[in-house]
Chains A and B, each alone.
Chain A
Amino acid sequence: MRMSEGGGGRQGLGPTGAASDLVRGIVERHRSLEGPLLSVLHTVQDELACIPPECVPIIARGLNLSRAEVHGVISFYPLFRTAPPGRKVIYVCRAESCQAMGGIELEAHAKKRLGIDYGGTTADGELSLEPIYCLGNCACSPSVMVDGRLHSRVDARAFDQLIGR
């Protein structure tokens, strides 16, 4: 999934039938790139909201890699997921500039308001909360990104408005 999107209700269906064909097609389309694996993983996640573990052998076979190599790459990068997130993912910046403007308080508020910690999803499957380390919006800290949209100078009230609850 790109930063621009949440799960959007997609189920991250295992690659049975249509989904596995889709993954094979993605691998096929990217095969001519130099070093295609990250591009393949991004595209799979765009389509399925995550990279289901069942995709790993298909990707490995298609790119002539070992399953361990593919798994190793997926697990290395914080933005790759193996299970679908909530409908929307809320990224809260933890970096220094945001800390200088109340980021710590915002982070505590977000966790309390949603009743989840980083990496968690609300019980209704709507919202996931993730930490992020700088959104490049530092002149207007603290920053939050939802659905690829940046939000500036987010305090507790603005956060509540943003999540609509």
Chain B
Amino acid sequence: MSTRVFVPADSTARSLGADAVAEAVAAADPAIDLRRTGSRGLYWLEPLVEIETAAGRLGFGPLDAERASRLFAAGAPAADHPDCLGLVEELPALQVQQRLTMARVGLIEPLSLKQFEDHGGFEGLRRARALTPAEIVAEVTNSGLRGRGGAAFPTGVKWRTVLDAEGAQKYVVCNADEGDSGTFADRMIMESDPYLLIEGMCIAALAVGASRGYIYCRAEYPQAIANLSEAIRLVEAAGHLDGFRLEVREGAGAYICGEETSLLESLEGKRGMVRYRPPLPAIAGLFGKPTVMNNVISLATAPIILARGAEHHRRFGVGRSLGTLTVQLSGNVRRGGLFEVPFGMTLRQVLEGLGGGTASGRPIKAVQAGGPLGAYIPPKHFDTPLDYESFQAIGAMIGHGGLVVFDNKADLGALARYALEFCAEESCGKCTPCRIGAVRGVEVVDRIRNGEQAAENRILLKDLCHTMIDGSLCGLGGMAPLPVLSVMEHFAEEL
């Protein structure tokens, strides 16, 4: 039998030359059974080529086309080859992880329904189909799952509200508008295990009684959109949707559409203007109908919760942060990528243990957690455990699990300015604190940085930040000041 070789077709792996590597492998040994999988998320090793053996998959990487040609010149290399990383599953960076949600990501060919099912796909959905809606909701509630998009609202409570809402038509909407810098877990799931998300949406639909679903994906993810669309077509043709109508809709570059009410407006074909709440989307959401909206990871975690039970999920994590967190390490970091770990590891363990410090080799100056609206965390807080409450206690947030690392050359004053500039660029314009405040904020930061009445302007800036926090309609204006205030507090010499 010909040797089976796996080369990722994830968009980051491809950006590092995975396509050329795949071509080189195929050209070097035409007998090889070449498979294009997703990526494991160990991006410093990409393109990572895996070779199937009786003992497991051997890893080689990072490779380029030339090295791949040499490596496969005399057939697939064996475990004793000097460049062999060993068994991929035994790599320390995977050993340390607890892959619940991302279990299949990187392992299978994303559009192979057979491989999906061979690796536990649809087990959760099958169990859900044997339960009543209330029982499904109870399972998710008991699991302790909280919204992984960033708000950390209990998913089961949200589902319960939609289940209890009156309405002939209900919707499930997946928020796949992963706009936060430093995050790519949603993209990985959509590209590398799209059936998982579809399974999660089917479970949500059963739980709340919805007959239609939409995945609102950002346009910046063309490969995710392509894979998801094809996955929906295949899964529907195979008869797994059971009447549930699911569509992918593409955003058009507006960050604000990651905010749930703005996303609903956009799905309805309108400007992405934030809505007043109440009513909650759970009561009056898409087209005014009861709508459950969850992030990709929340929905993609429902299948394993249903398959293994709520208790299994509760075994991971700490306090009220149960289950796993898909940490996404990026920026100036030696080993950037995705690490699914139980809540509770400290920031230092993640940055140093998993990330290996900065890419530049210089000391870490700060970490921005939770996207562009998240605080810049100084090293003195690096012993904070990764859980929602501990982060809140230091004025930060975990958000979607993105950690962007900066070395000591970073200009945090400039980054604080950027936070407000970004807010001004992306504001939907509906409420004054955000629309005007962000623009004025940039001006005040500039005055401080130019030394114009710096002391007075610092007071003004803080005041402006609090006006935005207290007076904005949604999280964009309400949180964009957080990175600014964190820089003023922890890096006072820079702003």
A binding-site residues for B, Cβ under 8 Å: 2-4, 33-39, 41-42, 63, 69, 72-73, 76-80, 95-101, 104, 132-141, 143, 145, 148-153
Contact = CB atoms under 8 A, between A and B. Distances in A.
Contacts, number: 160
Contacts of B219: 2-3, 42, 79
Contacts of A41: 252
Given A100-B406, A139-B330, 10 more contacts: A2-B250, A34-B212, A39-B269, A76-B254, A77-B253, A78-B252, A136-B186, A139-B338, A141-B330, A141-B331
Contacts of A153: 16
Contact of A140 (B15, B271, B372): B15
Contacts of B359: 101
A134 B252 CA distance: 13
A133 B329 CA distance: 17
Contacts of B428: 76
A139 B252 contact: no
A10 B263 CA distance: 31
B268 interface: yes
A4 B221 CA distance: 9
Interface stretch (B176-184, B435-443, B463-471): B176-184
A34 B285 CA distance: 14
A149 B269 contact: no
Interface residues of B, number: 64
Interface in B398-431: 402, 404-407, 410, 414-415, 418, 422, 425-426, 428
B368 interface: yes
Contacts of A78: 252-254
B387 to A, nearest CB: 23
Nearest to A139: B336
A133 B255 contact: yes
Contact of B287 (A2, A34, A39, A138): A34
A99 B220 contact: no
A72 B183 CA distance: 30
A96 B254 contact: no
Interface in B276-321: 287
B457 interface: no
Contacts of B37: none
Interface of B: 11-12, 14-16, 41, 43-44, 46, 178-184, 186-187, 212, 219-222, 247, 249-255, 266-272, 287, 328-333, 336-338, 359, 368, 372, 402, 404-407, 410, 414-415, 418, 422, 425-426, 428
A35 B15 contact: no
Contact of A100 (B46, B220, B252, B404): B404
A104 B252 CA distance: 24
A139 B12 CA distance: 8
B271 A95 contact: no
B253 A138 contact: no
Given A38-B266, A79-B253, A136-B183, A150 B11 contact: yes
Contacts of B267: 35
B336 A140 contact: yes
Contact of B269 (A35, A96, A138): A35
A72 B253 contact: no
Contacts of B15: 137, 140, 143, 149-152
Nearest to A154: B15
- Choose among A4, A76, A80 the residue with the greatest number of B CB atoms under 10 Å from its CB: A76
Contacts of A38: 249-252, 266, 269
Contact of A95 (B14, B181, B338): B181
Contacts of A101: 331-332, 359
13 contacts: A2-B219, A33-B247, A42-B219, A72-B271, A96-B418, A97-B404, A100-B332, A134-B180, A136-B186, A140-B12, A148-B222, A152-B12, A152-B15
A150 B183 CA distance: 16
B281 to A, nearest CB: 15
A138 B252 contact: no
A48 to B, nearest CB: 16
B486 to A, nearest CB: 13
B213 to A, nearest CB: 11
A127 B159 CA distance: 47
Contacts of A69: 270
B228 to A, nearest CB: 14
Contact of A138 (B181, B249, B255, B271): B181
Contacts of B249: 38-39
B418 A99 contact: yes
A80 B359 CA distance: 36
Contacts of B183: 134, 136, 138
Q: Which 10 A-B pairs have the closest CB atoms?
A: A139-B336, A37-B269, A95-B181, A138-B330, A77-B252, A100-B331, A79-B253, A150-B15, A78-B253, A35-B269
